[in-house]
Each structure stands twice: as C-alpha cells, then as structure tokens.
Amino acid sequence: MRVLHTMLRVGHLDRSIAFYTDVLGMQLLRRQDYPDGRFTLAFVGYGPESEGAVIELTHNWDTDHYELGNGFGHVALAVPDAYAACDAIRARGGKVVREAGPMKHGTTVIAFVEDPDGYKIELIQR
C-alpha cells in the first residue's frame, strides 16, 4: 500500500491551480470536469502519480467557500532550504504565515504558508 493523494475542496479552482503550480512549483497532472455531478477534479504534484503522492483539488461548481473546521492540520512538503523557500513563495505572491525557523521544542527548521482557501502547507527543511 501507499498514499495516493490528499483531497482538498477549493472554492475557485483556477486560483488554486495557480497557487500550487506558480507559487509552489507543482505541475498540473490532470483535470477532469464531471458536468452531471457539477464538479471538477484537478490533480497537482511534483511528479507522476505513479511515483508519489499528489494533491487532488476538488471544485464543486455551486460552492465558492468552505469552512475548514478544526480537524484538518496541514500538508507537508520537504524543501532543501526553508528560508529560501519562504522568500521564493513570497516573491511569487504566496502568503507565509509562519516564517522559517526551528520548531518549538526542537531543532528541525520549518515554516508554514497558506493556500488561497486557507489550507496550511508546512515546509520542512531537509
């Protein structure tokens, strides 16, 4: 078994695809409209789905906003340099919500950014 994808419901699909591709550097792997169900699925990632986990962006055509609730935490991405990643993300219009630095009670360098729907993306320096 392996993790295939994480699904996030998004309010504005094109805006979300732009964030994940233009700001975080992922690729749009596939996109499919389901007119009878009134939704679109778009899959983004850093490589083919056959080789690693990806993110599924689900856009329900009649919903432009979701309450995130308090159960979801974040999606984590490995980066070589969290400080440089924050600078690059900010330069591309992304929102850094926790600057790079050592995690509380530890030494691992982390940062958090936020996507257009408010989902948190953790950057973990490797």
Residues annotated as catalytic (active site), given as ranges: 122
- What is the separation of C-alpha 80 from the centre of its chain, rounded to a whole number of angstroms? 17
CA dist 35 and 46 (Å) reads 28
Paired with 79 in beta bridges are 125
Give the residue among 38, 41, 32, 26 at the shortest CA–CA distance from 89. Answer: 26
Q: Which SS3 state, helix, strand or coil, does residue 12 take?
A: coil
